[in-house]
Amino acid sequence: MQRGFDAAYSQGYEDGVASGKNAAGGLGYQLKKDTRSFANDAQYRQGWSDGYDAGKTQELEWQKQLKKTAK
């Protein structure tokens, strides 16, 4: 659970991180989104969006580092 946030935000963030990493090509990550919560719960939706951005950025940075070390 994300510290200082409610359970819906934390769950959305966790789901969003996995989804963002998946979108960036991360192996072992799946798209996760509770569509009902995303549509009806502003906290879940915000957490998912924040997590998606963070996860995608993390995965792209990881891939960039791998490419650097492979040279």
- Each of the 71 residues of the chain gets a pLDDT tens digit; together they read 557 789 999 999 999 999 999 999 999 999 999 999 999 999 999 999 999 999 999 999 999 998 888 76
* In a domain? residue 51: yes
Q: By the 8 A CB rule, do 68 and 31 touch?
A: no
Count of structural domains, the chain: 1
Give me 30's structure tokens: 């799946």
Domain that holds residue 50: 12-22+34-70
Record the pTM.
Answer: 0.88
Integer Cα distance of 16 and 48 in angstroms? 4
CA 4 vs. chain centroid, Å, equals 18
* In a domain? residue 54: yes
